[in-house]
Amino acid sequence: MPALRRLLESSGFLLPGEAQKIDRIMDSFATCYHRLNPGTFEDKDKAFILAFSAVMLNSDHYNDAIKKSNKMKFGDFVRNHRGMGISEDLLR
Confidence of residue 28 (pLDDT cuts 50, 70, 90): very high
* Mean of all residue pLDDT scores within the chain: 85
Active site residue 88: no
Cα–Cα distance between 36 and 56 in angstroms, integer?
24
Within 8 A by CB and 6+ apart from 35, the residues are 44
Q: Please identify which of the residues 9, 18, 42, 88 carries the catalytic annotation.
A: 18
Q: What global pTM score does this model have?
A: 0.79
**41-78 tens-digit pLDDT:** 888 998 998 888 888 888 888 889 999 999 988 888 88
Count CB atoms within 10 A of the CB of residue 4.
19
Half-sphere exposure of 76 (CA within 13 A, CB side): 11
Q: Which residues contact 80 (CB under 8 A, 6 or more apart)?
A: 53
